[in-house]
Structure 1
Amino acid sequence: MKNIVALSPMYTEDSNNLKKASLNSPYELNRFNAKWNVPEEFRTAVIAVYGEDIYAEIVAEQCNLTLTKPDDNWLSQISEEFIKRKISYGQLKDFVNEENIFLKCSDFKSFKAGVFDKVTNIKGFDSLDLNISVFTSEVVEWELEVRCFVLNKEIKTYSSYWRNSTLDTDLLSITEQKELFEFFKNFIQQYAETLPKAVVLDFVIIKGKGWALIEANPAWCSGLYACDAEKALEVIIESCIKN
């Protein structure tokens, strides 16, 4: 039996591309069934998982996997040299009176991240647990956003995904590519030891400030955009540890 990567039963362009990329690889990508249940006879063969975060966590428990990810407060520990904006981390109740801020829940589940003129305007605010952990950031203007699948301190594949408030996966210019890799090199030299060996890093050009880190995400639930699926699959597999 091949080593298996469990795919979410939800068909997406990303999961379809990963499935195609695996056809000539030593890995079998299997959706199993719609009940988020890996049959007992396959569980020892499952070495990784890819899909929505809740799905991945359920499968990881069934198949004895550790899903690597950055620490919840990791971004708040990064020097302003690399983030180029003020970021805070704490409980939602600490920021209830803040206005005009970007707010994101650290567990990705409780509410959709965004810019809020008032924190109490979060959809469903009255039902939220005020003790959940969140990030806040001053509001800045993104000019270009780029996703990078990183393994062992190296960008294995990358793709733009947003340019001037529009979805855009076109190739970077030669200058943009050079600047991105130089920025990444300086960043990873300083912070590699604080991250899993396999991770997704998002970078941005902030208007008036230049290149900056947006955030770090787990590879096992990150979208591919126009990244090379075969190379992204390598990072995804390495982001899961078989216990």
Structure 2
Amino acid sequence: MIELPRTLVFSPRANDTSHVLASVAHRRGLLTEHLTGWGVPEGFLVGGPAHLYAGPLFADAVAADLGIGLLEPPDDWLTGLPREAVRREIRMLTMAEAWTLRAPAFLKPPNDKSFPARVYLEGAQLPGPDAVDSDTPVLASDPVRFTVEFRLHVIDGEIVTGAQYAIEGDLDIEPLAGHEAEQQILGFARDVLQESADKLPSAVVVDVGLIAEGDGKPAPAVIEANAAWASGHYAADPERVLDVVLRAAGPMTEIGERDRTFLRPAAQRVD
């Protein structure tokens, strides 16, 4: 029986990572399809198994029609990590609760872009009920200053590649390989994953950074975990990034029992 080639599907909104992944996919013999609208066209066929790289809203619109399961970290993964791994107080709130905050906090939606992730001086600065549902989950954390931030691409609890993406909050891209903080970041992240990898999907992105503490010595901390199928690669090894994306957003029929716990609900249509 002839095995049809796999297809990596992209949204209409191209970016640096989609261009890079398309190039790597072609070298591997995969097909690529860039959809032109917010949906799967009638009669659209991908042939073999399909995978996806796209933002959350577009992924929700097309994943079920393409037979793709999207793996993402649980909303509350950060809140279950020990204090020494995050170095700040983190709580899971609803948007209704976040609206009542009267002190500065870093607020973000765990796995989508329903409102901008940033420090809000109070909850009243958040989008109102006309823009965001009151039961939308919100991660609230103490404001801290990450001096350097890194993205790590993970498969089966192992870090396969990574990159620096910011310094003092500004975009600043460098490979992790050869970075002066490489061993510190990898050692810290491996310890965190050893304790918590079973609470994450088998393919995921984890962001970590260095926090300037009172003694002036930078300390590593977990920033967040993200869905690999919607994350930028920055200066990470594209081959390894593609490995993670293909696992994180692939055919539902190939998703193992362990990973079914981490399927994104919004992308699974209920007819």
Band the TM-score falls in, shorter-chain normalisation: over 0.9
Of residues 224, 227, 239 in structure 2, which corresponds to 1:218?
Answer: 227
CA–CA separation in structure 2 for the residues paired with 1:102 and 1:168: 21
Aligned residues: 242
Alpha-carbon contact 1:65-1:241 (below 8 Å) kept: yes
CA RMSD of aligned residues (A): 1.8
C-alpha contact (below 8 Å) 1:44/1:63 kept by paired residues: no
Partner amino acid, structure 1, of 2:226:
N
- After superposition, give the CA deviation of every residue in 1:25-47 in whole Å (9 maximum; x if it has no partner): 03222114334315545255242
Moved more, 157-166 or 106-115: 106-115
Question: Of residues 158, 161, 164 in structure 1, which corresponds to 2:162?
Answer: 158
Query: Identical aligned pairs, as a percentage?
Result: 26
Change (3 A) 1:139 1:18: same
Amino acid across the alignment from 1:101: A
Partner of 1:31: 34
User: Is the 2:38–2:61 contact (alpha carbons within 8 Å) kept by the matching residues of 1?
Assistant: no
Q: How much does 1:166 deviate? A: 2.2
- The answer on whether the counterparts of 2:175 and 2:235 sit within 8 Å (CA) in structure 1 is no
1:142 aligns with 2:146: yes
Q: Within 1, Cα distance between the matches of 2:224 and 2:35?
A: 32
**Secondary structure of the residue that 2:159 maps to in structure 1?**
strand
Give the aligned residue type for 1:54.
L
Deviations 1:125-163 (A, max 9, x none): 252322221010001111000011111222121110101
**Are 1:176 and 2:181 an aligned pair?**
yes
Alignment-derived partner of residue 56 in structure 1? 59
For 2:264, the equivalent position in structure 1 comes to: none
Q: 2:102 aligns with which of 98, 102, 108?
A: 98
- What is the aligned counterpart of 2:115 among 108, 111, 115? 111
Q: Classify 1:239/1:107 alpha carbon distance in 2 versus 1 (closer, same or farther; 3 Å).
A: closer
| Structure 2 CA distance for aligned equivalents of residues 65 and 217 of structure 1 | 18
Q: Is the 8 A contact 1:6 1:48 kept in 2?
A: yes
User: How many angstroms apart in 1 are the aligned matches of 2:49 and 2:61?
Assistant: 13
Structure 1 residues 185-216: Cα deviation after superposition (integer angstroms, max 9, x where no partner):
11111011111110000001011160011111
Q: Which of 233, 246, 258 matches 1:237?
A: 246
Asked if residue 205 in structure 1 is aligned to residue 210 in structure 2, the reply is yes
Whether the 8 Å contact between 1:203 and 1:211 is mirrored in structure 2 is yes
1:75 aligns with 2:78: yes
Q: Which residue matches 2:8? A: 5
